[in-house]
């Protein structure tokens, strides 16, 4: 069966992107690979909304590798502030409680976002080396109100890192204009390539902190990767550790397609797909996990009333659509997550909604056939 992947990551595939990576093994010093890496580093700047003053990195691993590589900008005894809206925001604490830094945490209830007032209350009289926040919290589908939070964070923090794993490529990141110092993502999310790489951009100010005595270990130490990234952009091959070669060829094609579509059109497409999906969910009489006004364009949580996620997911899978499981223990009684990022189109959303109508009904929800699809159709027209 040709199953549709509406998971929160990896996201829906694109044949050209996948085929670009499906090639014979090739060395990392070859002209082809150096070109692919150079193009991808430049493509990353485009998606993050930064210019030549920002240093891009493409690392082997995933979003979590990019998160952990941020230790390259920290030193022993630094204070850091973690703004968390859920499971992935909490991951910053999971990572940095392993390092010799002091973490303060401001957290929101499931489906909500930390507010500027909550930051003000927590940080009164404090100063931090770095603050962390998650643009789109994948466990609930909440998009943080980035601008109002950044305004507060800039008052108390030297550097600001934004996790754009579930946003970059599907939401407006605009890191340079917004004054974000470090923004990171992963290859398999809204950029729409296969898994295998963690991606990150860093401002000049952040790069000036990259020192020999940082807290980073060896393989994710950005100081070790910097000459390689610079060399690749200047057309020279180099080695520190083996890069995710085939994923980089896919990334090169993904960024080429993104440039061809334009970021503006891509963001509009994500807005349309997520709007249709939410209209469809509400049209069926069901609810979205994220509070009104903070719903993301890339991930949606669907609250279940009388059914269990296991049943809905299994039935949907049998009907040809793969959704993601609910993972935030604070969402009661149960929920599932729907990813709509990367190469998502209107027809994917319509197919997902019609499968959901059937799987939800078969799992115990009272849904009338075609109510969701009708609401989504009405949203488009
Ligand atoms: C917001 C966010 N941050 C970080 C991660 C971790 O990324 P990875 O699974 O690629 O390591 C994820 C993964 O889903 C995520 O959604």
CATH classification of the domain holding 370: 3.90.1150.10
Ligand 1 atom showing the smallest separation from residue 138 Cα: 16
- What is the arithmetic mean of pLDDT over 97-113? 98
Q: What is the distance in A from the centroid of ligand 1 to the CA of 63?
A: 5
* The domain boundary residue, chosen from 218, 237, 261: 261
Q: How many domains is the chain built from?
A: 2
Cα separation, 213 vs 341, whole angstroms? 38
Given this model, what pLDDT does residue 211 score? 87
Cα separation, 255 vs 253, whole angstroms? 5
Same domain assignment for residues 244 and 319 = no
Q: Report the nearest-CA residue for atom 7 of ligand 1.
A: 63
Q: Which of 261, 258, 269 is nearest to 191 (CA)?
A: 258
Report field, pTM of the whole predicted structure over 0.85: yes
- What is the arithmetic mean of pLDDT over 123-138? 98
Same domain assignment for residues 128 and 205 = yes
Cα separation, 351 vs 83, whole angstroms? 36
Same domain assignment for residues 250 and 237 = yes
Give the ranges where 125-262 is alpha helix by DSSP (H). Answer: 146-156, 175-178, 204-207, 222-233, 245-261
* φ, ψ for residue 144, nearest 5 deg: -65, 145
Given this model, what pLDDT does residue 191 score? 98
* Residues spanned by the domain of 108: 15-261
Same domain assignment for residues 142 and 237 = yes
CA dihedral (254, 257, 261, 265) in degrees, to 10, reads -10
Q: Residue 158: how many CB atoms within 10 A of its CB?
A: 16
- What is the arithmetic mean of pLDDT over 199-225? 96
Q: What is the distance in A from the centroid of ligand 1 to the CA of 55?
A: 21
Tens digits of residue pLDDT in 12-25: 999 999 999 999 99
Ligand 1 atom showing the smallest separation from residue 186 Cα: 10
Q: What is the distance in A from the centroid of ligand 1 to the CA of 227?
A: 26
How does residue 29 score in pLDDT terms, banded at 50, 70 and 90? very high
Pocket, ligand 1, Cβ cutoff 6 A: 9, 62-64, 88, 91, 134, 138, 163, 165-166, 186
- What is the arithmetic mean of pLDDT over 217-240? 97
Tens digits of residue pLDDT in 328-341: 999 999 999 999 99
Same domain assignment for residues 228 and 274 = no
- What is the arithmetic mean of pLDDT over 124-153? 98
Same domain assignment for residues 243 and 285 = no
Q: What is the distance in A from the centroid of ligand 1 to the CA of 64?
A: 6
Same domain assignment for residues 130 and 152 = yes
Ligand 1 atom showing the smallest separation from residue 137 Cα: 1
CATH number for the domain harbouring residue 80: 3.40.640.10
- In angstroms, what is the C-alpha Rg of the chain? 21
How does residue 2 score in pLDDT terms, banded at 50, 70 and 90? confident
How does residue 60 score in pLDDT terms, banded at 50, 70 and 90? very high
Structure tokens of 289? 């996990």
Same domain assignment for residues 90 and 32 = yes
Ligand 1 atom showing the smallest separation from residue 164 Cα: 1
Same domain assignment for residues 28 and 156 = yes
* The domain boundary residue, chosen from 233, 261, 289: 261
- In the block, tokens 């009708």 appear at 374
- What is the arithmetic mean of pLDDT over 247-268? 98
Same domain assignment for residues 147 and 229 = yes
Same domain assignment for residues 107 and 181 = yes
Cα separation, 193 vs 18, whole angstroms? 7
Q: Report the nearest-CA residue for atom 8 of ligand 1.
A: 63
- What is the arithmetic mean of pLDDT over 306-313? 98
User: Which secondary structure element, helix H or strand E, spans residue 104, and what is its range?
Assistant: strand 102-107
Ligand 1 pocket: which of 92, 113, 137, 138 to mutate (most atoms <8 Å of CB)? 138
Q: What is the distance in A from the centroid of ligand 1 to the CA of 217?
A: 21
Same domain assignment for residues 218 and 275 = no
* The domain boundary residue, chosen from 224, 242, 261: 261
Structure tokens of 362? 């078969």
């Amino acid at each position: 069966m040709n199953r549709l992947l509406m998971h929160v990551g990896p996201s829906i595939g694109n044949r050209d992107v996948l085929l670009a990576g499906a090639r014979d093994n090739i060395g990392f010093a070859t002209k082809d690979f150096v070109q692919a890496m150079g193009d991808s580093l430049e493509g990353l700047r485009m998606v993050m909304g930064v210019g030549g003053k920002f240093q891009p990195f493409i690392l082997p691993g995933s979003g979590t590798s990019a998160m952990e590589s941020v230790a390259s900008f920290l030193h022993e005894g630094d204070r850091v502030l973690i703004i968390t809206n859920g499971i992935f925001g909490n991951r910053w604490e999971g990572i940095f409680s392993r390092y010799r830094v002091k973490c303060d945490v401001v957290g929101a209830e499931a489906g909500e976002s930390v507010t500027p007032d909550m930051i003000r209350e927590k940080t009164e009289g404090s100063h931090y080396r770095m603050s962390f926040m998650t643009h789109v919290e994948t466990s609930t589908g909440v998009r943080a109100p980035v601008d109002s939070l950044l305004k507060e964070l800039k008052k108390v923090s030297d550097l600001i890192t934004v996790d754009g794993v579930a946003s970059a490529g599907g939401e407006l990141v605009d890191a340079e204009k917004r004054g974000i110092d470090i923004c990171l993502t992963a290859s398999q999310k809204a950029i729409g390539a296969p898994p295998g790489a963690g991606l990150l951009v860093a401002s000049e100010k952040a790069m000036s902190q990259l020192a020999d005595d940082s807290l980073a270990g060896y393989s994710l130490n950005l100081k070790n990767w910097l000459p390689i990234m610079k060399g690749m952009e200047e057309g020279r091959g180099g080695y520190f550790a083996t890069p995710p070669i085939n994923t980089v060829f896919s990334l090169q094609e993904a960024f080429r397609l993104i440039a061809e579509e334009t970021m503006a059109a891509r963001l509009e497409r994500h807005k349309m797909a997520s709007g249709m999906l939410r209209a469809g969910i509400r049209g069926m009489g069901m609810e979205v996990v994220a509070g009104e006004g903070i719903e993301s364009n890339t991930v949606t949580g669907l609250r279940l009333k009388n059914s269990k996620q296991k049943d809905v997911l299994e039935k949907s899978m049998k009907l040809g659509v793969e959704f993601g499981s609910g993972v935030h223990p604070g969402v009661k009684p149960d929920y599932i997550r729907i990813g709509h990022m990367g190469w998502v189109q209107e027809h994917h959303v319509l197919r997902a909604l019609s499968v959901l109508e059937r799987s939800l009904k078969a799992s115990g929800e009272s849904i009338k056939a075609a109510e969701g699809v009708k609401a989504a159709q009405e949203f488009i027209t």
